[in-house]
């Protein structure tokens, strides 16, 4: 719930609205849910808004042993699990998964409307998680599990 509020607040302030906002919140919620279930103890959600795309990265860190990255599935046959990455794949331009000894990260890109007043060409909006950038809320946050 906290992750969805963070994403909705940041994107609302950045001028992302309607279906684009709802899709981004759903994508981040699915990725954060996977990180909480399959990942480690600390999670970071990073957002970057460029003129025509929103880049999202969800990473988990910590000492807990990790399982393999979850597989994408249509969740057919009444199974209530396994649909998350399929939904993410349907709503995004691309998805990239990286696994290191220290973390798992999933990065995606969502297409958003080009609004010149929202984001000047060549200048993405982002943040560091501990401060503000360009008057925007932090675009990276850490949470100890969800």
3-state secondary structure the chain: CHHHHHHHHHHHHCCCCHHHHHHHHHHHHHHHHHHHHHCCCEEEEEEEECCCEEEEEEEEECCCCCCCCCCCCCCCCCCCCCCHHHHHHHHCCEEEEEECCCEEEEEEEEECCCCCCCCCCCCCECCCCCCCECCECCCEEEECCC
Residue range of the domain that includes 28: 2-143
Give the pLDDT score at 48: 94
Q: Using the 8-state DSSP alphabet, how is residue 146 labeled?
A: -
Give the pLDDT score at 142: 37
Q: How much is the mean pLDDT over the chain?
A: 75
Pull the structure tokens for residue 90: 């349907």
CATH of the domain at 57: 3.30.565.10
Range from 80-84, 94-98, 119-123 carrying the lowest mean pLDDT: 119-123
Predicted TM-score of the model (pTM): 0.72
Structurally, the chain folds into a number of domains equal to 1
Pull the structure tokens for residue 8: 């909705």
2-51 pLDDT per residue, tens? 899 999 999 999 999 999 999 999 999 999 998 888 777 788 999 999 98
Give the pLDDT score at 1: 63
Pull the structure tokens for residue 73: 């599935």
Range from 32-41, 80-89, 134-143 carrying the lowest mean pLDDT: 134-143
């Amino acid at each position: 719930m906290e992750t969805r509020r963070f994403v909705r607040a940041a994107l609302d302030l950045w001028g992302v609205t309607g279906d684009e906002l709802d899709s981004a919140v759903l994508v981040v919620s699915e990725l954060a849910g996977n990180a909480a279930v399959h990942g480690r103890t600390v999670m970071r959600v990073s957002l970057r808004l460029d003129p025509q795309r929103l880049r999202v990265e969800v990473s988990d860190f910590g000492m807990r042993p990790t399982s393999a990255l979850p597989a994408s599935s249509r969740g057919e046959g009444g199974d209530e699990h396994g649909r998350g990455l399929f939904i993410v794949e349907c709503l995004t331009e691309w998805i990239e998964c990286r696994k290191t000894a220290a973390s798992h990260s999933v990065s995606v890109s969502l297409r958003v409307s080009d609004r010149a007043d929202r984001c000047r060409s060549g200048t993405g909006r982002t943040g560091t998680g501990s401060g503000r950038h360009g008057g925007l809320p932090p675009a990276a946050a850490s949470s100890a599990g969800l």
